[in-house]
């Protein structure tokens, strides 16, 4: 039974997009196929020999594309983040290229919402930093995010599933933390709104009570201040009495014209 490319589908997918985006070089792919050929103890699919003898990047990509099943595995996207981390840390690629790669990874739509949102946010910050020239802070922030994926490298292909489990645990914890923070913020906003509503009600109740007191005591209206205060109290009291009727009419009209 011959050795086929199928067991290496995930790695071949990384090779394909890595070559396309400039994260992988042809020599890496040829060396891998040479190692497969040298270590083989069984018949090989001719694909490995063709890959080893390929002349240029386009030929390599065509060969891989002919056998690879692009199943958009989330591990593939995370491997790219690991490769990006290594090359950015070693100053092999520039931030502008990192920005394009992160956009491409997010567009694969294989990662979690937390990861995709982080990628888009960092890409936006990188674009702004490229215009303003303040790159160092964004570079540090990008490395701090990408370091989570640093264990993904090309030569530990068989360890990717185990590494991915660790990454998924971290991502789940971060997602849960963000959800808890958002929930706490919303609860705080609700409490603040409730307190404001209560304060407004108390002020209105005190205003109405004051107006009733003025109306009941009916001060000497010969003085202009007393006369104005009495008129204002009547106005406040009248509005307070009309409000429930207006509210009932409003709710009735809403129900009547509701589609």
pLDDT digits (tens, 9 = 90+) for 94-104: 888 888 899 88
Q: What is the mean pLDDT of residues 125-130?
A: 82
b/e burial code for range 212-231 (CB count within 10 A of at least 16 → b):
eebeeeeeeeeeeeeeebbe
Provide the CA 134 distance to its chain's centre, in angstroms.
23
8 or 41, which is more confident: 8
User: Residue 165: is its pLDDT beyond 50?
Assistant: yes
Q: What is the mean pLDDT of residues 114-137?
A: 85
Q: What is the pTM of this model?
A: 0.72
User: Residue 193: is its pLDDT beyond 80?
Assistant: no
Express as a percent the part of the chain with pLDDT over 90.
39
Where do runs of H (alpha helix) occur along 147-223?
160-217
């Amino acid at each position: 039974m011959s050795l086929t490319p199928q067991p290496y589908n995930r790695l071949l997918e990384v090779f394909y997009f890595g070559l396309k985006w400039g994260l992988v070089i042809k020599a890496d792919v040829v060396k891998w196929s040479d190692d497969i050929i040298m270590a083989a103890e069984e018949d090989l699919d001719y694909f490995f020999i063709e890959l080893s003898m390929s002349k240029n990047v386009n030929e390599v990509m065509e060969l891989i594309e002919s056998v690879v099943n692009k199943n958009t595995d989330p591990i593939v996207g995370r491997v790219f983040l690991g490769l990006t981390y290594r090359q950015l840390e070693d100053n092999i690629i520039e931030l502008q290229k990192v920005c394009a790669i992160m956009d491409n990874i997010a567009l694969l739509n294989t990662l979690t919402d937390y990861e995709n949102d982080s990628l888009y946010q960092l890409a936006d910050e990188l674009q702004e930093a490229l215009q303003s020239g303040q790159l160092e802070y964004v570079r540090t922030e990008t490395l701090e995010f990408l370091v989570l994926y640093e264990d993904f490298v090309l030569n530990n292909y068989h360890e990717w599933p185990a590494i991915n489990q660790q990454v998924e645990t971290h991502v789940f914890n971060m997602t849960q933390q963000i959800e808890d923070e958002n929930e706490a913020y919303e609860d705080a906003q609700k409490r603040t709104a409730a307190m404001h509503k209560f304060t407004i009600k108390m002020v209105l109740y005190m205003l109405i009570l004051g107006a009733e007191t003025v109306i009941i005591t009916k001060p000497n209206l010969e003085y202009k201040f007393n006369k104005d205060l009495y008129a204002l109290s009547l106005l406040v009291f009248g509005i307070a009495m009309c409000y429930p009727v207006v509210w009932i009419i409003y709710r009735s009209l809403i129900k009547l014209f509701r589609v």
